[in-house]
Amino acid sequence: MQYWRTKSRPRRRKPFCIHTKLLIINTSESEFSQAIRNRLRVAHGLQVKQVKCSFDLDVGIVQLNNDEDKETLLNDIRSIVLLNNQGTITFVETIQLTSYVVVDIENIRNLPSAEELSHRWCQVFGGGGTSTFQPLSVYFPNIIKVTSYSTEELQAAINNSVFTISNGQIAHVYVNRDCSYLEDIHNSSENIDTDLLFCYIITQLDMTEQERMNKDMCQEKAEQLYKTIKEKTLSSSMKQLKSSLFIQLSKESGTAVILASKNRSNLARTQKFMSMTLVNVFGHYIPKGEKLACRLVVKNIPMNVSIDMIKIHPIFKNNIRRINLISAEQSAAVIYLGDEAVLDKCLKVGAIEIDHSPLHLVPYSAAMTDDPSRRTINVQNWYGRKMLECKPDIAAFAHDHVIFKYKWDPDIWLEQFKAVSNKDTNKQHDTIRRMLRVTVMLNTLATIRKGKYSLKDGKTEVILQQQQMKTIVYNHKSKLLKLSSQSTIKIPFQSTRVRIINEDCVVSYANLAAQGFNPLLLNMANATSPGGGYPRGDGAQEENLFRRSDYCISLEYFLDHDHPHVQHQRLISNTEAKK
């Protein structure tokens, strides 16, 4: 983690500073300042030039007449208790104030350095030039923690909390905020966003610990509030409360940072949040803490490298608290460290070598430890962005692609498909439709591999029949039977009824089978390219059948030909009626 301090400037003599530990809700800044002044005069006989308090910064400035009074206040008096138990005031020689600069993340690769930001800070807010700038976390590279020793520059930041930086990006300043984190959010819901997370937090502020354990209650209240946000019917008081909590979510790491305002207008509510130890999100108890877990992921661990060999590597300086293997397949492990400086050093270096094998050291990511088979295909993990980055061709997907591991939700898919109507001839919409169809086929292939699938209720499981099948290919030269003499074929039925129905052929087949018939389904299809254009997401009837059945395992030999239940006989009927 790199720090940057603005260049020092000639310093002028500053008044002595005090820090107010407790704020008074039902009084003004001027009244509070006068109360301090009166208490110093009456209780200690100390006359001061001026007392100026700032509730926004939670500090006050005391101007004294001479150095002797300063020493008396600092070393002898030290603190005072105001009348009527209005609060305890502690006097210190210097103050250290923390604020946060959040840069809009439209382009994460074009963020300013701490040095660039410090120069711009001095240009906009002035100050004594002693502020330090530190990136908050590798998970939130757009958030800079600013440590200041000047109330003047922070007061200027309060008066103008938005400014631009050199590349035109917007930077927001959050002064006098409490910083906390929620971790491992990925274990609760993949559909969470910052608005919904805000709703879970706010609706649980007034709950008892027992109520907070009630999943249904927490979810119902959060979703009710979330609905008002989406419908833009949020009350003015709730809007003000929402502005007092800045939330940024890193879905990759499953971590959220929350900057809670200490402003007196919402202090009672935000203090309740600060005292919370966990938030119930979708029935999962997400711990809240002031620091992030000190962990990283070591990747590409070869078979010849043991956990003990990793532990004794000098880069970790004997600071490893524990190591959790992610999986043997991924050859990776999560390392928990006891020192942030060691973590920063590891991530800065990025790799180590053990027994002549390079191992990568990367920031912890929820995706690395999460089981994708527990996740549903949705907008966040597929339809929204990742799907559009792929080529509409099933041959472009490696057998270990994560899409084969996700669970299927027909309602989410249908919602996406309806959003791009067939009437729209837009080329981009055509590509999206094709990719949506390809997604169906990929899920069908995944189902065939697993040998089972679950119905929409999520409880009923269907096991595919995995016995070997026989596929016979006929063409115009094929002979069905070879007989020595012609025989008269006896018709087994008295009559034949022909009906033309505007209905899905598979639905018709299922209805006839349910009535006790033994129907034969004839599909007029492509003789040379089974399934037609299904690999590219074409939308005709033959392609549709391929996507919704295991048709492909008998007609498309190149698909998973090593899988046990597709190793069945493929025969061709020839001119001799032989197979």
Domain identity same for 166 and 203: no
Neighbours of 341 (CB within 10 A): 12
Domain identity same for 107 and 172: yes
Q: Report pLDDT for 469.
A: 67
Q: Alpha-carbon distance 401 to 395, whole Å?
A: 12
Instruction: Calculate the alpha carbon distances from 369 to 89, 138, 256, 336, 365 in Å.
Output: 48, 18, 17, 14, 7
Q: Are 407 and 459 within 8 A, CB to CB?
A: no
Which of 381, 386, 388, 390 lies closest to 412 in space, CA to CA? 381
Domain identity same for 185 and 284: yes
DSSP reduced 3-state for 288: strand
**Do the domain assignments include residue 259?**
yes
> How many domains are there within the chain?
5
Per residue in 338-371, pLDDT tens? 999 999 999 999 999 999 999 999 998 876 776 6
Q: Report pLDDT for 9.
A: 44
Per residue in 483-514, pLDDT tens? 666 666 778 888 888 989 998 888 999 999 99
Mean pLDDT of 165-185: 89
Per residue in 220-267, pLDDT tens? 999 999 999 999 999 999 999 999 999 999 887 889 999 999 877 777
Boundary-marking domain end, from 429, 460, 491: 460
The domain that holds 67 is classified in CATH as 3.30.70.330
Angle at 56 between CA 55 and CA 62, to 5 degrees: 55
**Do the domain assignments include residue 189?**
yes
Boundary-marking domain end, from 350, 368, 386: 368
Boundary-marking domain end, from 326, 349, 368: 368
Instruction: Calculate the alpha carbon distances from 222 to 115, 250, 273, 280 in Å.
Output: 41, 20, 15, 10
Domain identity same for 342 and 401: no
Domain identity same for 357 and 383: no
Query: Above 70 in pLDDT, residue 123?
Result: yes
**Do the domain assignments include residue 483?**
no
**Do the domain assignments include residue 556?**
no
Domain identity same for 211 and 273: yes
Token pair for residue 521? 């389904």
Give Cβ neighbours of residue 469 (< 8 Å, ≥ 6 apart).
Answer: 553, 554, 568, 569
Burial class (CB in 10 A: 0-12, 13-18, 19+), 356: exposed
Instruction: Name the average pLDDT for the chain.
Output: 83
Q: Alpha-carbon distance 157 to 151, whole Å?
A: 10
**Do the domain assignments include residue 549?**
no
Domain identity same for 398 and 452: yes
Query: Above 70 in pLDDT, residue 26?
Result: no
How many helices and strands, by DSSP H and E, does the chain display?
17, 25
Per residue in 554-571, pLDDT tens? 776 555 445 544 455 555
Domain identity same for 333 and 396: no
**Do the domain assignments include residue 46?**
yes
DSSP reduced 3-state for 160: coil
What's the pTM?
0.65
Q: Which of 138-142, 296-300, 511-515, 561-565 has the lowest mean pLDDT?
A: 561-565
Domain identity same for 76 and 109: no
Query: Above 70 in pLDDT, residue 329?
Result: no
Query: Above 50 in pLDDT, residue 8?
Result: no
Q: Which of 55-59, 90-94, 189-193 has the lowest mean pLDDT?
A: 189-193
Which of 403, 465, 466, 415 lies closest to 440 in space, CA to CA? 403
Mean pLDDT of 53-79: 87
Residue range(s) defining the domain that contains residue 331: 295-368
**Do the domain assignments include residue 526?**
no
Domain identity same for 189 and 124: no
**Do the domain assignments include residue 53?**
yes
Domain identity same for 309 and 264: no
φ, ψ for residue 98 (rounded to 5)?
A: -110, 135
